Structure 1
Amino acid sequence: MAALLREYPGHPYKKWQGAHWRLLSLVELGLTDADDRIASAVDRVLRWLLNPRRKTLQISGRYRQCASMDGNGLLVCCRFGMQSDPRVMALATRLTQWQWPDGGWNCDRRPQVTHSSFHESLPPLRGLVAHGGFPQATARAAEFFLRHRMFRSESDGAVINPEWLELHWPAYWHYDVLLGLRAITEAGLVLDDRCREALDHLQSQRGPDGSWRAKGRRYWLRRGDSNTDVVDWSDAADVLTKQARDVLRAARRPGELSLPVRRSENLTSPHLPARVSRFN
């Protein structure tokens, strides 16, 4: 946690040290309290996202925006209780304006592309769920994933991308089945039968020791000029095990409700004094 709370030079979106990514990791680990360091980082992210010089691109009747940026920013702000902040309302409102007819979002500029991106659609769904003020747009976004049974093509039922069946941490803006199930759980829809196959697969990923571990492509590096994280996450067994078991408990999977909580699942946030009153 200490490494994530430090300040690092550069743009908020710098991968993976910028404030945008560090704040996302912090709220994913359960942080909901904001001190002056957090407030400063949030302000920088909002200034970047809401900069009027940031182009809004519309091609063939569809907004082709990197909505994952705004979605993750919205999620972070809402976890800090900022739903009524005018800047946060602006993020949520424009996500609903950018939403595609199929319920998702996509930044692909090719005019012939008419299908939303899983990667670009999941963060907006999570952000809108956390905000709670746009139920129709939220329901449409959730239905986009449910129609695909979380990882399958609507047209032929094939697995869209085998990498999505692996576990990753941090996933940043990338989609995988656990992150998708977490979003659907947050939306209160994990009991939908269209989640069944994805839940079965998630259960099958449990290791012999009862844990879930990151075995998919590692999106971060321990050292280098880019794509370096400020934390060495290793296989993230503690984080992923808690996330997987939270989903499976919410889905009322047999054997999950009665299991005791492992010590490693008691992930707690650091104490942050001097709470920022405007985040209340």
Structure 2
Amino acid sequence: MPEQDAVILWLTRADPAIRWQVMRDLLDLPEADWAAERAKVETEGWGARLLACQDADGQWAGGAFFPADFTPDEWHRSGQPWTATAFALDQLREFGLDPTTELARRTVALIGAHSRWDEGGQPYWQGEVEECINGRTVANGAYFGADVATLVERLVDDRQPDGGWNCERAAGSACSSFASTLNVLEGLLEYERATGGTDRSRDARRTGEDYLLSRHLFRRLTTGEPADPQFLDLLHPNRWRYDILRALDYFRAAGQSTGALPDPRLAEAVAHLRSRRQADGTWPLDWDLRGRVWFKVNDGPGKPSPWVTLRALRVLRWWGRG
């Protein structure tokens, strides 16, 4: 069996959240086929397991960003917890839970009615002050059908002079960050897919993309050195963190949505991604975030990761077609 076929077979034996995306993005199967597999996310595997952890009021772990029982000591002792509502929604969107189901619609309504942000008590779908959080809230809201138009306008207004975003803006930061910018870009793209976007939101997405592209996804504009060596390591789940594979997968999704060809400034990041492929055709998980989770979806650092491999293969496929 050719190496590529063996990797595809390995991926199709993974969770339904992986399988349906392999069928759509790597095998080009008809929508009727992958949609039937996607429907299993609600009832089988990781999706069903995460949904089973949901509170009666629609939240997870009793809180929007932090679990209800969180204390600052936990962060210092074992890392940021990832079990609250914001991160559960991130994963359900990544798993591909069908947003049109009764369960998904009920979740959106319950969160809107009961969840409040830890920072200032704002209703969940109105967002809070940090651009990283608000970008992902827009992505989840747009995907699951919540009204996030007002939050999109706030994000557009929160752009830095260099075209991107920084979650430390409210604390006085005047320049953008890679992570904040990508979090917002993903949200604006999801909003554009759901509603068509606005002239202002599409322009903001363009300037945010230029911020990352002018830095070849990982280099400082001033020195050309890597802004953070960990940007070149492969992480999953990313939560709010940045790496080049997450950025490349965003540009793939954006290109497929708009028909834009791959930008040549992605070439260096693509070459690095190719170099990280293992002899068996898979990609490893380089590191994992500390902190409380409901369950793991990878076997651990150093092991082949179905999630990293899926994302890498579909990025390279898109790049090759471009």
Q: TM-score range by the shorter chain?
A: 0.7 to 0.9
Preserved CA contact (<8 Å) 1:5 1:37: no
**Which string of whole-angstrom CA distances, capped at 9 and with x for unpartnered residues, describes residues 156-179 of structure 1?**
100111111001111100001101
Secondary structure in 2 aligned to 1:48?
A: coil
> What is the TM-score normalised by the length of structure 2?
0.66
1:75-90 aligned at under 5 Å gives the runs: 75-80=139-144, 82=145, 85=146, 87-90=147-150
Aligned partner of 1:170 in structure 2 is 237
CA-to-partner distance for each residue in 1:238-274, whole Å, 9 max, x for gaps? 1111111111111117xxx9xxxxxxxxxxxxxxxxx
Give how far 1:40 is off: 4.5
Give the counterpart letter for 2:214 in structure 1: R
The code of the aligned residue for 2:273 comes to L
Provide the C-alpha distance between the structure 1 equivalents of 2:129 and 2:165, rounded to a whole number of angstroms.
8
Q: Tell me the number of residue pairs that the alignment of Structure 1 and Structure 2 aligns.
A: 234
**Which residue number in structure 2 is paired with residue 205 of structure 1?**
276
Q: Report if aligned partners of 2:65, 2:118 keep a CA contact under 8 Å in 1.
A: no
Q: Does residue 1:243 correspond to 2:243, yes or no?
A: no
Distance of 1:39 and 1:195 partners within structure 2: 37
State whether structure 2 residue 127 is matched by structure 1 residue 67.
no
Using CA pairs under 8 Å that are at least 6 residues apart, name the structure with larger relative contact order, 1 or 2.
1
Structure with higher helix content: 2
Output one character per residue of 1:64-88: Cα deviation in whole Å (capped at 9) or x when no partner: 94211111111122223x2xx5x31
Q: Which residue of 2 aligns with 1:194?
A: 265
SS in 1 for 2:312: helix
What is the alpha-carbon distance in structure 1 between the residues aligned to residue 236 and residue 102 of structure 2? 27
Q: 1:19 aligns with which of 47, 71, 85?
A: 85
In structure 1, the gaps of 5 or more residues are 55-63, 221-226, 258-280
Match of 1:183 among 247, 250, 267: 250
In the other structure, the counterpart of 1:219 is: 289
* Sequence identity (%): 28
Quote how far apart the aligned CAs of 1:187 are: 2.1
Structure 2 residue runs without a partner (length 5+): 1-45, 55-59, 67-80, 123-127
Distance 1:51 1:173, change over 3 A: closer
Inter-CA distance 73–202: structure 2 relative to 1 (3 Å threshold): same
**Quick one: distance in 2 between partners of 1:184 and 1:241?**
17
d(CA) in 2 for partners of 1:244, 1:232? 20
- The counterpart of 2:116, out of the listed 48, 52, 57, is 48
Q: TM-score, normalised by structure 1?
A: 0.75
